[in-house]
Chain A
Amino acid sequence: MKTQSTHSPGLYWTICLALMLLLALTWGLGYVDMGSFNLIAALAIGLAKALLVVLFFMHIKGSNRLLHLAAVAGLLWLFFLLALSFSDYASRGWIPLHTR
């Protein structure tokens, strides 16, 4: 028989607990005024939760390289979308246009 690709229930419940704690953390920090750090903290915690889900629930940890590539490809293209759009918005008005 082939090797098993899913994990033990104990690991899944541990991940569940970690996700709930991270949710409590992001929720709690929502009541603290940290200026622009609020957004950074929220996104960092979101990334940590997403990583736990992708690595363990979606079995990226322990799967083959082709799946890693497919998973990263979506993020890479999302990065292109965001980076090119932000560079557009950030640089508007840099070059003066001669309008009548």
Chain B
Amino acid sequence: MHLGDMNSSAPTALVAEQFDDIEQQHDAAKLGMWIFLATEVMFFGGLFLAYTIYRFIYGEAFQLASRHTAVMLGGANTAILLFSSTLMALAVRAAELGKRRPLLWLLLATAFLGVIFLGVKGFEYHKDFVDHLVPGVNFQWHEANPRGAEMFFWIYFAMTGLHAIHVTVGVVVMLTLALLAWRGRFAGGNYMPVEIAGLYWHFVDIVWIFLFPLLYLAGHRG
């Protein structure tokens, strides 16, 4: 998680020897995470690029296909992730202030909301499968421009799938941090693992903030 504290059995060595003080160590941890997030922006960026170009080519088909996504479930999932990000921000605060029990519960609640998100997403995938909307498996389209609609659903599954993998990783990270918090690992000012896990969780939230309107509301539903 964090290179500076491999030796967790020695709480006296809070500041690793390569750093001048705790502030510099914290800045290094955060900088490392932000650089990783920049690579994640590029990772998802490729898919956003594909989406944009194919929407440019198959504009009408994308708007039609978008109406076949479950907007109620997608919208509810957006609210769940926004709420989980708020709890995560509060968890980082609890960690910084050394409040062990609130930290533990906030991490568990964040992980729980992540699991709910994945459950809703899984239910949606099941619905898509039943509706014959899965390209390469059972895709059937009875409206205009089936090629464009199929391309929309390829991109829909690629983007939401990659995002769901990120949420899964996030849930595992939150549960691991909750275990460490329970053991009192973040007592004494070493809260950086919680801070940088929070950065990751918020990033995954931001990706969904853009996925929701682009995939679920590509065409108006009025």
The residues of A with any CB-CB pair to B shorter than 8 Å are 2, 4-7, 9, 12-13, 15-16, 19-20, 23, 26-27, 29-34, 38-39, 42-43, 45-46, 49-50, 53-54, 56-59, 63-64, 66-67, 70-71, 73-75, 77-78, 81-82, 85-86, 89
Contact = CB atoms under 8 A, between A and B. Distances in A.
B103 to A, nearest CB: 12
B199 interface: yes
Contacts of A56: 89
B93 A23 contact: no
Shortest Cβ-Cβ A-B pairs, 6 listed: A74-B38, A42-B213, A30-B217, A70-B34, A74-B41, A16-B86
Q: Is the interface of A mostly helix, strand, loop or mixed?
A: helix
B222 A31 contact: yes
A81 B41 CA distance: 11
Interface of B: 22-23, 26-27, 30-31, 34-35, 37-42, 45-46, 48-49, 52-53, 56, 71, 75, 78-79, 82-83, 85-86, 88-90, 92-93, 96-97, 195, 198-199, 202-203, 205-206, 209-210, 212-214, 216-222
B210 A50 contact: yes
Nearest to A18: B82
Contacts of A16: 82-83, 85-86
Contacts of B90: 9, 12
Nearest to B209: A49
A30 B221 contact: yes
B41 A50 contact: no
Contacts of B75: 23, 27
Contact of A70 (B35, B40, B52): B35
Given A26-B213, A49-B82, 12 more contacts: A12-B90, A16-B85, A30-B71, A31-B222, A32-B220, A39-B218, A57-B88, A66-B27, A66-B31, A70-B34, A71-B37, A71-B38
